[in-house]
Amino acid sequence: MFSITKRADYALLALSHLAISGADNPARLINTKEIAEQYEIPVELLAKILQILAKNAIVASHPGPAGGYRLIRSPKNISVAEIVTLIDGPLSLFQCSGGDESSCKQFNRCTIRSPMAEIEGRVRTLLEQISVDEISKVIPEPELVIPKRDFLAALPMSG
Q: Which residues, other chains included, contact 101 with Cβ-Cβ below 8 Å and sequence gap of 6+?
A: 107, 108
Q: How do residues 1-15 score in pLDDT, each as one tens digit?
A: 467 899 999 999 999
Domain that holds residue 58: 6-93+131-136
Q: Does 112 reside within a domain? A: no
Distance CA 112, CA 118 (A): 10
Instruction: Find the DSSP H helices in 22-154.
Output: 32-39, 43-55, 80-88, 113-129, 132-136, 148-153
Q: How do residues 79-115 score in pLDDT, each as one tens digit?
A: 999 999 999 988 887 767 666 666 677 777 888 878 8
Distance CA 37, CA 33 (A): 6
Using left for φ > 0, alpha for ψ between -120 and 50, and beta otherwise, residue 92 falls in beta
Nearest partner of 133 among 83, 82, 91, 80, judged by Cα: 80
Sign of CA dihedral 88, 3, 91, 50: negative
Local confidence band at 68 (pLDDT 50, 70, 90 cut-offs): very high
Q: In the 8-state DSSP scheme, what is residue 131?
A: B
Q: Does 103 reside within a domain? A: no
The pLDDT value recorded for residue 155 is 53
- Which domain CATH number covers 28? 1.10.10.10
Domain count, the chain: 1
Q: Does 57 reside within a domain? A: yes
Distance CA 64, CA 14 (A): 19
132 and 19 Cβ atoms separated by less than 8 Å:
yes
Distance CA 70, CA 74 (A): 11
Q: Does 115 reside within a domain? A: no
Q: Does 89 reside within a domain? A: yes
Q: Does 40 reside within a domain? A: yes
Q: Does 1 reside within a domain? A: no
Q: Does 156 reside within a domain? A: no
